[in-house]
């Protein structure tokens, strides 16, 4: 461990010494060292909504969690999920505040007064006039506040204090030296020595809900508008949506054990670190409800969060990327591989409830299993583990079976499912003439397919037709990586034969993928007749031309069959396919989709491996460089690494590693609605037709990833499914093979 840290430090210093003021050096290698991996655990108190409306939360020295709810007070002992009501039935009612003093006493502010627990006994205190809505403590001072006054605990007795402030007490913080800061609807009060001072002009707005002390002698006040920060009694700065606060409604502020300021809002919790960075946690992935009312920290630095609908635990775990790989790979093999060796997502009978999972089919099972095949191929290349090679072979056999099961010479299916499956996606159906007319008006290229699912000859499987162009891309990409990084000589012979079967079919059918009905599928069209002769196919012209050149070059590269090279050159010289392909970087904005970037990333490494003509290579290299210039954020890990495969140059290493570290362990495809946030803008960029946000969200607050999905999408996710973790494992093992990630 120490050697790894030292090695990383040396590497970082070496990189830094090469920096210039204008062009910082790109870090080329990441040494795998432990980092903090956060996870989320959700708690519901009961089936009663009022029990789950949590207003205050605290963790005592025995790791018992105390909560003040709309219906009363509950506690949860360490190691259990059971929440016990701790106040008698006759005294139950709304509770507002829960704290643990520096001396270890639990204090609870409720509708009928204040309770304390010390040495195992919970007692109702006399003195403060109920209701007690806020309790705060520092050092030997404990204060109780509410609409009827302020009390200070002295020598075991509560003494009312003479401070004249607004009765609308929302939050308070004591400094331990006799001074109390109180947030109210009228502003922030400083109460000290029997005197009060009101701060209003120093705040974004007078309406204050919370106050906390921060490092550097700062006082943070949560107000309508954001966070106002004062230093030495004067305004220092404000944190608003422009500075990363997700909404102007701030409910609570707490300082963690590592001096990070946690700001609870109506749209999640944002953390401001001492280095100036901030990070947001919101959505069901991280919180039981986005409305955060209070936050407490246990002795391990884990955050217990009181929300409008339950308690969330954001737990800090230490792991390195190798540990994370083991976790994801175990999940993959336990749940996401179904017979005969298909890698896919899971369906949840109850959204978000992973105990209700079952395997599910997907239109792109072939492509996504292709990604799995690529991952196992890189795992083998990096480790020479025969287990990886054997699993890669099984994935290849499945992809080959997708062609064999159709009973045709060269057509292949999207996916297969057991014949006894009752539920499939996109089942067989019939169309009326009116429906077909409607679809044709919407899309002149529309092809009605009534029988998408057909039974295999042996009766064991249902196979799905109408296979798309992206499926072809995924297959060819996977065969390329298997052939070059994991296949034995016998495997390579199988790949050559299978690829020849598919490409021969394309040539036979004038470069379209023809289904069992004798016509091309809706999307798998590469023919010059359509791409060059039909204006309705203009939107696909550049990418599909690029794809077909790649398919032919790959087939020629592995088989040596001159027919494929002849056709490749004919399409370039007579049909203008190279000129067409150059357009991938200059598509009309109406035709740009994010998916295309990934499809192009599938193709480039194949061309760079097998093209030997210097002139053509120069053209492809120019296309590749422009293609990467269009991805300045380095958000697509697959494309970052595809570029390295092509050129040997390592790029966007920091972005790649940061994604691998930041990606959650939770694979539920939680709904992420960025339109709730005020710290980002809704835009139509980089893809014109999609609603996106102005800033690339980090992996931790994106929906679960597939590299064909637009990461800027404003609304993402479907909590009724669990994604397979290939999106993480594939770039991890590819980066390991390329020497980007080192032990």
C-alpha triplet 382, 386, 388: angle, nearest 5° = 60
Q: Of the candidates 160, 58, 174, which has an alpha carbon nearest to the alpha carbon of residue 107? A: 58
- For the CA atoms of 572, 578, 580, 583, the dihedral, rounded to the nearest 10 degrees, stands at 180
Q: What is residue 556's predicted lDDT score, i.e. its pLDDT?
A: 98
pTM attached to this predicted model: 0.94
Query: Across-strand partners of 99?
Result: 107
The first and second tokens of residue 535, run together, are: 């204006």
CB 670 within 8 A of CB 703: yes
Q: What is residue 120's predicted lDDT score, i.e. its pLDDT?
A: 78
Report the distance separating Cα 478 and Cα 487, nearest Å. Answer: 11
**CA 292 distance to own-chain centroid:** 21
Report the distance separating Cα 460 and Cα 167, nearest Å. Answer: 74
SS3 503: helix
| DSSP category for residue 78 | T
The first and second tokens of residue 120, run together, are: 């195992």
User: Domain boundaries in the chain?
Assistant: 2-31, 35-319, 632-743
The neighbour count for residue 318, using CB atoms within 10 Å, is 9
The first and second tokens of residue 325, run together, are: 């790989």
Strand order in the sheet with 721-722: 357-359, 346-348, 721-722
Report the distance separating Cα 730 and Cα 392, nearest Å. Answer: 12
> In terms of residues, how long is the chain?
743
The first and second tokens of residue 581, run together, are: 């392909």
Q: What is residue 24's predicted lDDT score, i.e. its pLDDT?
A: 53
SS3 9: helix
In Å, what is the CA distance from 7 to each residue of 4, 14, 321, 496, 649?
Answer: 5, 11, 16, 43, 22
CB 729 within 8 A of CB 321: no
Q: Of the candidates 201, 235, 231, 208, which has an alpha carbon nearest to the alpha carbon of residue 218? A: 231
The neighbour count for residue 683, using CB atoms within 10 Å, is 15
Strand duo 218-223 + 226-231: pairing = antiparallel
Residues of the chain with pLDDT under 50: 1-23
The first and second tokens of residue 32, run together, are: 């795998």
The first and second tokens of residue 481, run together, are: 């990586």
The first and second tokens of residue 666, run together, are: 């939770």
Among the four given CATH numbers 2.20.28.120, 2.130.10.10, 3.30.70.100, 1.20.1260.120, the one describing domain 35-319: 2.130.10.10
Q: What is residue 15's predicted lDDT score, i.e. its pLDDT?
A: 39
In Å, what is the CA distance from 379 to each residue of 387, 495, 695, 729, 733?
Answer: 9, 19, 33, 9, 5
Report the distance separating Cα 338 and Cα 340, nearest Å. Answer: 6
Residue 400, C-beta contacts closer than 8 angstroms, at least 6 positions apart: 494, 498
């Amino acid at each position: 461990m120490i050697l790894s840290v030292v090695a990383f430090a040396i590497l970082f210093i070496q990189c830094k010494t090469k920096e210039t003021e204008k062009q910082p050096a790109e870090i080329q290698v990441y040494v795998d060292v432990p980092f903090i991996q956060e996870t989320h655990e959700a708690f519901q108190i009961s089936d009663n909504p009022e029990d789950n409306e949590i207003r205050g939360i605290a963790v005592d020295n025995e790791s018992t969690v105390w909560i003040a709810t709309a219906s009363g007070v509950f506690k949860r002992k360490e190691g259990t999920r059971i929440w016990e009501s701790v106040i008698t039935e006759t005294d139950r009612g709304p509770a507002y505040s829960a704290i643990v003093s520096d001396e270890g006493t639990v204090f609870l502010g409720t509708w009928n007064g204040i309770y304390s627990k010390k040495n195992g006994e919970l007692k109702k205190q006399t003195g403060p006039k109920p209701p007690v809505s806020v309790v705060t403590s520092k050092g030997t001072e404990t204060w109780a506040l509410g609409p009827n006054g302020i009390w200070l605990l002295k020598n075991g007795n509560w003494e009312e204090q003479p401070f004249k402030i607004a009765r609308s007490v929302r939050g308070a913080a004591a400094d331990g030296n006799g001074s109390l800061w109180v947030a109210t609807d009228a502003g922030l009060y400083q109460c000290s020595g029997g005197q009060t001072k009101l701060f209003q002009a120093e705040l974004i707005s007078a309406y204050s809900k919370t106050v906390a002390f921060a490092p550097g002698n700062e006082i943070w006040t949560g107000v309508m508008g954001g966070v106002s920060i004062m230093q030495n009694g004067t305004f220092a700065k404000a944190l608003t949506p422009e500075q990363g606060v997700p909404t102007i409604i701030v409910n609570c502020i707490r300082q963690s054990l590592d001096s990070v300021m946690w700001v609870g809002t109506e749209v999640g919790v944002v953390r401001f670190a001492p280095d100036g960075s901030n990070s947001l946690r919101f959505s069901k992935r991280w919180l039981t409800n986005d409305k955060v009312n209070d936050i407490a920290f246990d002795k391990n630095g884990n955050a217990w969060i009181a929300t409008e609908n339950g308690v969330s635990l954001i737990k800090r775990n230490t792991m390195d990327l190798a540990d994370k790989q083991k976790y994801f790979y175990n999940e993959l093999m336990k749940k996401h591989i179904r017979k005969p060796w298909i890698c896919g997502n899971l369906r949840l009978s109850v959204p978000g409830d992973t105990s209700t999972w079952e395997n599910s089919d997907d239109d792109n099972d072939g492509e996504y299993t292709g990604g799995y095949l690529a991952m196992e191929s890189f795992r083998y290349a990096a480790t020479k583990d025969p287990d990886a090679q054997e699993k890669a072979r099984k994935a290849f056999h499945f992809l080959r079976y997708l062609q064999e099961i159709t009973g045709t010479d060269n057509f292949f299916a999207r996916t297969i499912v057991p014949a006894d499956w009752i539920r499939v996606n996109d089942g067989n159906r019939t169309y009326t003439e009116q429906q077909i007319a409607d679809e044709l008006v919407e899309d002149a290229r529309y092809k009605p397919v009534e029988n998408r699912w057909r039974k295999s000859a042996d009766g064991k499987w249902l196979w799905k037709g109408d296979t798309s162009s992206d499926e072809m891309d995924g297959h060819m990409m996977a065969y390329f990586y298997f052939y070059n990084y994991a296949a034995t000589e016998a495997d390579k012979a199988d790949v050559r034969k299978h690829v020849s079967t598919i490409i021969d079919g394309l040539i036979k059918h004038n470069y379209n993928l023809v289904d069992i009905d004798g016509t091309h599928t809706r999307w798998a069209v590469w023919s010059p007749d359509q791409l060059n002769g039909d204006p309705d196919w203009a939107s696909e012209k550049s990418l599909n031309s690029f794809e077909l050149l790649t398919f032919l070059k790959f087939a020629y590269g592995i088989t040596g069959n001159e027919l494929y090279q002849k056709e490749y050159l004919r399409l370039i010289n007579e049909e203008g396919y190279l000129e067409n392909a150059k357009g991938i970087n200059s598509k009309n904005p109406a035709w740009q989709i994010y998916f295309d970037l990934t499809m192009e990333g599938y193709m480039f490494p194949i061309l760079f491996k097998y093209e030997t003509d210097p002139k053509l290579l120069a053209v492809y290299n120019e296309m590749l460089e422009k293609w990467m210039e269009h991805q300045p954020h380095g958000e697509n890990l697959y494309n970052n690494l595809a570029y390295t495969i092509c050129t040997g140059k390592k790029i966007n290493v920091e972005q790649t590693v940061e994604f691998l570290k930041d990606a959650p362990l939770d694979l539920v495809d939680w709904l992420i609605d960025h339109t709730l946030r005020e710290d980002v803008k809704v835009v139509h960029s980089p893809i014109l037709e999609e609603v996106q946000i102005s800033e690339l969200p980090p992996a931790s607050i994106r929906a679960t990833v597939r590299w064909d999905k637009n990461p800027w999408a404003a609304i993402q996710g479907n909590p009724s499914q669990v994604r397979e973790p290939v999106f993480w494992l594939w770039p991890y093992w590819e980066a390991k093979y390329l020497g980007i990630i080192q032990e």
